[in-house]
Amino acid sequence: MLFIKNLYKSFGNLEVLKGVNLTVNKGEVVVIIGPSGSGKSTLLRSINYLEIPQSGSISIDGIILDAENPNSSTINALRKSTAMVFQSYNLFKNRTVLENITESLIIVQKKSTNEANEIAEALLHTVGLIEKKHQYPSSLSGGQQQRVAIARSMAVNPKLILFDEPTSALDPELVGEVLNVIRKLAYEKMTMLIVTHEMGFAKDVADRVIFMDDGVFIEEGTPKEIFTSPQNERTKKFLHQVL
């Protein structure tokens, strides 16, 4: 589904991605862990072309973007095939929960209001918030807002969902409900690439865990391999600090 080859990204003189290679298969859940500043967000943002990489290639379900030779139709196709869920949920404040989800269906995908409502309601059932459909985001908890954001990201029927620390802005007691929604998507075989600091969650949801440090992938393996017998000293040190 996703195939990244030798991706490089710098901000001025600061090299942030130093040759990243990554394959994510259809239906696979890959979790990236690593210290702050190691380039995890930049990698996710580059996949969605929110950041412009200098070289390498990104391919999603056959659409290939060559970073040194990008064209706008490929960029648009790439963006359309992915959805991103951020740490802060960024819902439209003056739209109801339902409208937050139907907006892009009606405006971008040109669906009728009825059809958009049906899709949005089905997604609200999935994230357990159908009873909140007419409320405004401000009346919802952070965890509920993030669940709406996840439903919204799914509305465009993405081939891949990118999660960038989806629970790190939440109060601890609200983390579980969001992780459970992501677990449910994993169970439904949604292809996902997730950056998280929730190691317990990573352990039980990931098909594969990647440890990233200083712009490169240091080590990857099954959750068991990474969490119980990491091979690299940097992985060991990081896990020792966070576990």
* 96 touches Mg ion by CB under 5 A: no
Q: Which residue is nearest to Mg ion, using beta carbons?
A: 41
**Which residues, in sequence order, are CB contacts of 1 under 8 Å at separation 6+?**
24, 25, 26, 28, 60, 61, 159, 160, 191
Give Cα separations from 25 to 14, 16, 22, 48, 218 (angstroms).
31, 25, 10, 17, 20
* 167 touches Mg ion by CB under 5 A: no
Binding residues (CB under 6 A) for ligand ADP: these are 11, 14, 16, 34, 36-42
Helix 113-126 vs helix 97-107: crossing angle, to nearest 10: 130
Minimum Å gap between C-beta 29 and ligand ADP is 19
- Please tell me the distance from the alpha carbon of residue 239 to that of residue 187, in angstroms, as a whole number: 26
Nearer to ligand ADP, 88 or 104 (CB): 88
Minimum Å gap between C-beta 47 and ligand ADP is 12
- What's the alpha-carbon Rg for the chain, to the nearest Å? 18
Nearer to ligand ADP, 11 or 93 (CB): 11
Element holding 107 (H helix, E strand): helix 97-107
- Please tell me the distance from the alpha carbon of residue 31 to that of residue 207, in angstroms, as a whole number: 8
Minimum Å gap between C-beta 30 and ligand ADP is 15
Q: Which does residue 100 bind out of Mg ion, ligand ADP, none, counting CB within 5 to 8 angstroms by kind?
A: none
Site for Mg ion in 16-75 (CB under 5 A): 41
- 227, 209 contact by CB (below 8 A): yes
Nearer to ligand ADP, 88 or 109 (CB): 88
Q: Which does residue 158 bind out of ligand ADP, Mg ion, none, counting CB within 5 to 8 angstroms by kind?
A: none
Minimum Å gap between C-beta 43 and ligand ADP is 7
Nearer to ligand ADP, 14 or 243 (CB): 14
Q: Which does residue 39 bind out of ligand ADP, Mg ion, none, counting CB within 5 to 8 angstroms by kind?
A: ligand ADP
Minimum Å gap between C-beta 98 and Mg ion is 30
Nearer to ligand ADP, 27 or 37 (CB): 37
Q: Which does residue 37 bind out of ligand ADP, Mg ion, none, counting CB within 5 to 8 angstroms by kind?
A: ligand ADP
Tokens of 150: 């996840």
- Please tell me the distance from the alpha carbon of residue 126 to that of residue 185, in angstroms, as a whole number: 9
Element holding 119 (H helix, E strand): helix 113-126
Distance of CA 32 to the CA centre of its chain: 10
Minimum Å gap between C-beta 41 and Mg ion is 3
Nearer to ligand ADP, 87 or 180 (CB): 87
